[in-house]
Structure 1
Amino acid sequence: MLTAILTGFLFSIFLVFAGKFFKGKLSILASLVPLALFVYFFQFISPISNGEVIMRSYEWIPSFGVDLGFKLDGLSLLFSLMITGIGFLVFAYTSSYLKGHEYLDRFYGYLGSFMGAMLGLVLSDNMITLFVFWELTSISSFFLIGFNNTNPASRKSAMTALGITGIGGLFLLAGALLLNNIAGTYSISEMLTMSEAIRGNELYFLAVLLIFGAAFTKSAQFPFHFWLPGAMKAPTPVSTYLHSATMVKAGIYLLMRFTPVLGGEQIWNTTLILVGGFTMLYSAIHTVFRTDLKGILAYSTISALGILVFLTGLGTQEAFLAAAVFIVVHALYKATLFLVTGIIDHQTHTRDITRLAGLNKVMLPVGIAGILAAISSAGIPPTIGFVGKELTYEASYHAESLVIFLLIAIVLTKILLLYAGFVAGIKPFTGKLPEEHSNVKMPGFIMWGPPLLLAVLGVVFGVAPFIIESALIKPVVTAMGGDASEIHLALWHGFNLIFILSLITIGVGTALYFIIKPSKKLESGIAKFDFIAPENILEKFNKFFVVISNFWTNFFQNGFLRNYISIIILFLVVLVGYIMVGNTRFTIDYNSLSKITVYEITTTLILIAGIFYTVFTQSRLAAVAAMGVVGLSICLIFVFYSAPDLAMTQFSIDTLTVILFVLVLYKLPKYLKLSDYKTRLRDGILSTIFGLIITTLALEVLSEPVSKEVGDFYAANSYIEAHGKNVVNVILVDFRGADTLIEISVLSIAAVGVFGLMKLRLKMKDRRRYADKRLNQENEKS
């Protein structure tokens, strides 16, 4: 299973070296990777449908309780098949859609990384592992959304998507740590066995909010929905793969996976019903006012995601069944419509629905695919969409409370989604072909084959729903904590209230399609309300934040190192001083301190003299020499207290520093102007207080009883476990290797920055502008 997850990443790495072979006719071979993975996961249908759960675990960071634990059950299998199955079609479609593109290999690399990240996400049984793959989906989607990086709009959309989903990632990490604090484990399977204890914990409410934050941002729930329409700037294969079938459903997967653990409580169910219900209706209304095909599909996708959140919140077995079926329904018809939209855009160079009609005359197979997908999205028999719609109505009808309101909301949503599906899937292919599109040609089979296959599957599964009943749907319901033994999918359930609601939906939605024509006037009409849209509110907040940040930066980061140090020290003085004053534990046992010797007094007086000379001298070289005296005095103190290794290190560093300073400052003149008396007095008082606080802390620490447990452990195990005789080195490299690695990383990043500055070559006009700016700043400060 780990190999299957890593395949996508390995394929991306392989493209770094062999990408040029996938830019031409061989690009179709890239689709063999997801196809092979689809076949691999397909073989698990039989054991999973028989109730088997396949677990795999690989040791990763056992000391922190983190392992590469993977779980394949009905829920993860359904998502894995969607990721690889639709991935195969998208990979194949891309070979024609981006044929001849300069960076086709790079695009495949991003797709491969995303596929691997999504597989890791849905298969993870460890929350830290899940978080890692969750973040990898955000990063890979950032590159896919911003693939057309020369377009400012694409770059902005990618940044927005990364920002919103990145915040969700922080919520997920916090939720994982909190659940580990409650349950004592990161394993989701183990959490399932202690769900009652988790729900009864006082931190349950906070854990639920954090999981909601992760799910809502990833799955574009209101008010975080706006990143998804913006992400439509990406190439159509990205929209198909990420924004209809896979990434946006990661949040849905998270909610479904944790429903048996956190669900069943009022806060869980009510929040999901309210957020999902509002999102599905709000976004469905927006589809009426859009004229861009991908914009229509984006808002209808958000609405569909709202339906899935809504159904998960209902929390009944009927709702779980409806959600499982609707995941399949939506993946089939929405992926089809996105692929069809891509073909239309590729062949006609427009996605404006007001300019599209009659394309059936020039590309009939594409039209068939679009019409079948529109019928499935509308829930018209004999498609699987009809089955999904009936189950959704059934689940809403049998809700525990507010049945009328829930039915009204879901029926209105379905009516509007029917309208959106007809506009996106039927309108471009019916009517009279415009003159401007009379020369449009039929695309190759590689482009129209995938959407037609998905559309036909929507009909096949509708006519014979038993194909997916035991293989996919029942295991999903079981994984969500439901009883799947009595589930029987069928196209016809008799003439009842649910069927009447379906007829009303089809009738009203079809009438709406013929009455309301997409127009720029409608689109501009709703634009008047943009000032209260979440996106614009966030944009205004960002601008306000920039203003505050500029003020804060200019106030504190004013270019003078002495001010930076003063602010840091002042903060520490206030913070530590407040703690010391309010804490009676700070006591000093003077009897435990050693007696002061004449050597220490002499060295200290020399050190103080060096400090005063450094502060008051008017020569830079004299100041450097005096600082050298201070450093050598500290070396002597180390020697007095039996620390020759520290003394030698201090001596070497101090000597080298003095030499370097002398070489750098030798040519510079004396100080032009020393700081005034008040400034030096202020700095002197601050430094004195800080020194007294540090001295007090050091004396208090010396008065505390010494615990040798940690030291004894290092001494006993350094040679045995790490094979090192120098205990300090072993601690730095082995026992605290993570800290050392982070420090090395920080130094490496700083070195890269310094190297970049050294290599910076400014144009002459930029140099003059920069010099003038610095001169003006200096004049203002003086």
Structure 2
Amino acid sequence: MKSYKNLSIFYFYLFLFSGAMLGLVLSGNLIQLFMFWELTSFLSFLLISFFHEKEAARKAAFQSLFITGIGGLVMLAGVVLLGSIVDSYSVSEWVEQSAVIKAHKFYAPGLILIFAGVFTKSAQFPFHFWLPGAMQAPTPVSSYLHSATMVKAGIFLLALLSPVLGGTSFWTYTLSLAGTITMFLGAYFAITQTDIKAILAYTTISSLGVLVLLLGIDTALSVKAAMLFLYVHAFYKATMFMIAGYIDKKTGTRDWRNLGGLVRSMPVTFIVALLALLSMAGLPPMLGFLGKELIYEAKVQAPVIAPYVLVLGVAGNALMIAVALFFLFKVFLGKQKKKVAVSFKNDWAFIISPALLALLSLFFGLFPAVLGKTIVEPALTNILKEAYDVKLKIWHGFNTVFFLSLFTVFLGLSFFVLIYKNNNVLRKWRAANRKFFTIKLVDVFDNSLNGFLTFSKRKTQLVQHGYHRFYILTIFVVASVFLWYQAYVTIGWNLANVFSLKPFYISGLVLIIIISTIFSMFSKSRITTIITMGVTGYGIALLFMYYSAIDLAITQIIVETLVVVMFVLILQRLPLFAKLSSKTSRLRDLVIALAFGLAMTMLALKSINVDFNQPISKYMIENSYTQAFGKNVVNVILVDFRALDTLGEVVVLVVAALGVFVLLKTKKA
């Protein structure tokens, strides 16, 4: 690790992760637990991508974050759904209301969502593929996060919620099926790998499947076996990950085809690895043997268990024995293929940590009662919510479990001899792997993500195309459709009593405004267009005057006069009319303009008859003189009641004027 760049940052990430995991396991509130859950995913992303200059590390980190992050969000939905039943997210409240939750219609949907979070976090099939990729992380990360802590977060959540959600056929069958499939496929995939770290990753997947299966059986014995196997797996897997990293450091390769005979160069490492692999294979006197015995006992005594669980369980354990022996013989025994430069000082400094874990596995295998009373029993009591006396012993007598263990060892040795002596068998297994698993889930993930990005890009280009006129067009179309729909639903089409154009001269004035507007649109003469636009503006001013809006009328007349004068002054500089768009485009624009304009007109007319409980206009009239000391209500509204609005409008005008001034002062290049 001395060669790592930014080693202090690495330690910082690692300590942050430790804090996040502690927060996760100590949380009594499931929303708080979710926050730490997602934090562990994020910190795992940072640690996997620590060697960020490697594309494989970046890809694996993203894959891990995406799968576990999305799974966490789905799990949150399940927590919220079940929390709504009892109106609480406290684990203790859920335990007390367990019967209510199980009887509710939200139980099954909520449980499925929580299972999704657990399966993604704890690498259950078909979400297992991110874990082998995570082996791009530094070796301490693989030993800590991906064997003993982060991947066990899902297992922890299942154990935490088993008193609440367990005990149903849905819980048992779902977890038993998922765990059994993951256990067997993990062991099968492990034996077909050539990278020793990938082998360990797949055996981790298999072990996680075992834990899910045991919690799915949901008996006191199965939970006891799960709690013990947590330590079994943590001891031997952390040891093996550190040894794999050490081998990679010393030899420059993790491919077992280029390794062999390392016992001559690394005798102490070989002894430590031997202890860990014995525990992995479930052989005495290691703690792994006791763990395997309890697992078989839990399966045999399970009240409701499908036969395939026991059959695939034996096959999976046999494959684990074959993998352990294969690792031992291909890496440490046999013909040496790599020259290893050994520094005994560095070896002893390195070997302390994995040796300590391996010796703990041996010690607890010989004296299991110590582990049972100090760790397993309190954990079991906390999960089962009742006192439970744990008695662990290495020998259980000649019974069904013992003969299952013997058969497993025999089957494992047979598998090992078959693949070790005959390389063609291993090649055929790999070929079968490619044949029956032609669709790699990693490729499915990559292709799905690329397809989603391509789809998003095309849809974004459809909406964000860069043409301003189409942005405006889209806004007007959507607004028109919405307004017309709302008008039809809430107002209807009858506007007969909405407004009146009496007396007759008002009707004539409105008709003149409409005709002049249409004429200005189709006129081919610039002077005629200016005149008709003026007629429209002055006609609107007359309407304002008729309805007693004197201030508005004066403003309209001043603005209209100024516009007409400006157009006349620059008439000679105006370009000739030109058709810059097709007839189809103009017709489309006309339809949209009419639809939007009529919708706004109808909305404005209808608002006249809206019955407000307290009309704002009444307040303005009553208080304009007494509070603002102004007799002109419109002016008082503009400069007092709505002073900030007026200030904003003035600022806009000033900014626009400054922009025009700058443009006029800019010299031509």
TM over 0.5: yes
Shift of 1:390: 0.8
Counterpart of 2:589 in structure 1: which amino acid?
D
Aligned to 1:299: 202
Q: 1:261 to 1:425 in 2, by over 3 A?
A: farther
Q: Distance in 2 between matches of 1:616 and 1:327?
A: 87
Counterpart of 1:686 in structure 2: which amino acid?
I
Aligned to 1:533: 440
Q: 1:618 to 1:383 in 2, by over 3 A?
A: farther
Contact 1:530 1:536 in 2 (8 A): no
Shift of 1:427: 4.1
Aligned to 2:244: 341
Give 1:119's match in structure 2, choosing from 10, 13, 22.
Answer: 22
Give 2:220's match in structure 1, choosing from 317, 321, 329.
Answer: 317
Q: 1:508 to 1:530 in 2, by over 3 A?
A: closer
Runs (5+) with no aligned partner, structure 2: 502-506, 527-532, 548-574, 616-641, 643-669
Instruction: Tell whether 2:614 aligns with 1:683.
Output: no
Q: 1:559 to 1:336 in 2, by over 3 A?
A: same
SS at match of 1:480: helix
Matches within 5 A, 1:502-517: 502-517=405-420
Counterpart of 1:447 in structure 2: which amino acid?
F
Give 2:324's match in structure 1, choosing from 418, 421, 428.
Answer: 421
Aligned to 1:465: 368
Give 2:352's match in structure 1, choosing from 449, 466, 471.
Answer: 449
Aligned to 1:218: 121
Shift of 1:428: 2.1
Matches within 5 A, 1:286-435: 286-425=189-328, 427-434=330-337
Shift of 1:193: 1.2
Q: Distance in 2 between matches of 1:193 and 1:266?
A: 20
Q: Distance in 2 between matches of 1:222 and 1:617?
A: 73
Q: Distance in 2 between matches of 1:256 and 1:701?
A: 65
Shift of 1:229: 0.9
Contact 2:180 2:210 in 1 (8 A): yes
Contact 2:299 2:305 in 1 (8 A): no
Deviations 1:10-37 (A, max 9, x none): xxxxxxxxxxxxxxxxxxxxxxxxxxxx
Matches within 5 A, 1:163-312: 163-312=66-215
Shift of 1:301: 0.6
Contact 1:374 1:426 in 2 (8 A): no
Tell me the matched-pair count.
574
Q: 1:577 to 1:505 in 2, by over 3 A?
A: farther
Aligned to 1:109: 12
Q: Which moved more, 1:464-473 or 1:489-498?
A: 464-473
Q: Distance in 2 between matches of 1:267 and 1:259?
A: 12
Runs (5+) with no aligned partner, structure 1: 1-97, 620-625, 641-668, 709-727, 729-782
SS at match of 1:511: helix
TM-score by length of 1: 0.65
Q: Distance in 1 between matches of 2:520 and 2:237?
A: 77
Deviations 1:321-355 (A, max 9, x none): 11111111111111111011011111111111122
Give 1:564's match in structure 2, choosing from 462, 465, 471.
Answer: 471
Q: 1:672 to 1:182 in 2, by over 3 A?
A: farther
Instruction: Tell whether 2:346 aligns with 1:439.
Output: no
Shift of 1:386: 1.1
Contact 2:223 2:380 in 1 (8 A): yes
Q: Distance in 2 between matches of 1:695 and 1:356?
A: 83
Q: Distance in 2 between matches of 1:192 and 1:595?
A: 69
Q: Which moved more, 1:510-519 or 1:497-506?
A: 510-519
Give the greater-gyration-radius structure (CA): 2
Aligned to 2:54: 151
Q: Distance in 2 between matches of 1:697 and 1:134?
A: 51
Q: 1:157 to 1:703 in 2, by over 3 A?
A: same
Q: Distance in 2 between matches of 1:475 and 1:707?
A: 67
TM-score by length of 2: 0.75
Aligned to 1:10: none
Matches within 5 A, 1:67-82: none
Q: Distance in 2 between matches of 1:514 and 1:703?
A: 89
Contact 1:121 1:134 in 2 (8 A): yes
Q: Distance in 2 between matches of 1:491 and 1:508?
A: 22
SS at match of 1:516: helix
Matches within 5 A, 1:752-763: none
Deviations 1:518-550 (A, max 9, x none): 968467523455532222233333344344344
Shift of 1:168: 0.4
Contact 1:586 1:700 in 2 (8 A): no
Q: Distance in 1 between matches of 2:584 and 2:595?
A: 17
The sequence identity of aligned pairs, in percent, is 41
Q: Distance in 2 between matches of 1:679 and 1:334?
A: 70
Instruction: Tell whether 2:394 aligns with 1:488.
Output: no
More RCO (CA 8 Å, sep 6+):
1
Aligned to 1:138: 41
Q: Distance in 2 between matches of 1:480 and 1:688?
A: 69
Q: Distance in 2 between matches of 1:216 and 1:707?
A: 58
Deviations 1:661-680 (A, max 9, x none): xxxxxxxx999974444324
Matches within 5 A, 1:381-780: 381-425=284-328, 427-434=330-337, 436-442=338-344, 443-481=346-384, 483-517=386-420, 521=427, 525=431, 526-529=433-436, 531-571=438-478, 573-574=480-481, 581=488, 583=489, 674-690=580-596, 703=610
Counterpart of 1:560 in structure 2: which amino acid?
Y
Q: Distance in 2 between matches of 1:615 and 1:390?
A: 94
Contact 1:300 1:417 in 2 (8 A): yes
Shift of 1:404: 3.1
Q: 1:205 to 1:677 in 2, by over 3 A?
A: same
Q: 1:692 to 1:372 in 2, by over 3 A?
A: farther
Shift of 1:402: 4.1
Shift of 1:130: 1.5
Shift of 1:500: 1.1
Counterpart of 1:103 in structure 2: which amino acid?
N
Q: 1:509 to 1:589 in 2, by over 3 A?
A: same
Q: 1:357 to 1:675 in 2, by over 3 A?
A: same
Q: Which moved more, 1:544-553 or 1:687-696?
A: 687-696
Shift of 1:195: 1.2
SS at match of 2:145: helix
Deviations 1:576-633 (A, max 9, x none): 755765x5x557999999999xxxx99xx99xx99999999999xxxxxx9xxx9xx9
Q: 1:282 to 1:686 in 2, by over 3 A?
A: same
Contact 1:229 1:299 in 2 (8 A): yes
Shift of 1:276: 1.0
Deviations 1:271-290 (A, max 9, x none): 11111111111111111111
Contact 1:592 1:703 in 2 (8 A): no
Aligned to 1:718: none
